[in-house]
Amino acid sequence: MMGDLINIYVLTSLFFDSKGNIATRNVGVTFSLHEAERHKAQGVENEFETFQICSNWQEHAATTELVFAMREFCDMVKELQQDAEFR
């Protein structure tokens, strides 16, 4: 189940890169629109972008980490099996 969508706000700031070009840097992330607006109000170089994510994103992240761990474990088992075959 996808869950409800919630907004997150990526806080950005403009800066000059090593070549003198204007670039954007991500400086933070928040769930609070008020915090994002306060960041933007601190100067013309500050802005934020809005993205939507699933409200149960932590569950999805944990599931993804579990899948990675299981794959890594399977690879280790395969290696051990291959080593055992050659002994």
pLDDT in tens, 42-87: 999 999 999 998 878 778 778 888 788 888 888 888 888 887 777 6
Residue 55 CB neighbour total at 10 angstroms:
12
Q: How far apart are CA 38 and CA 20, in angstroms?
A: 27
- 61 and 43 share one domain: no
- 49 and 61 share one domain: no
Q: How far apart are CA 54 and CA 17, in angstroms?
A: 34
Question: How many domains in the chain?
Answer: 2
Band (pLDDT 50/70/90 cuts) for residue 3 is low
The reported pTM is 0.61
Residues 6+ apart with CB under 8 A from 52: 5, 6, 7, 8
- 7 and 37 share one domain: yes
Residue 72 CB neighbour total at 10 angstroms:
10
Question: Which residues span the domain enclosing 79?
Answer: 56-87
- Read off the pLDDT of residues 6-20 as tens digits, 9 standing for 90 and up: 899 999 999 999 999
HSE at residue 61, side-chain half, CA atoms within 13 A, is 6
| Token pair recorded at residue 18 | 């090593």
- 7 and 31 share one domain: yes
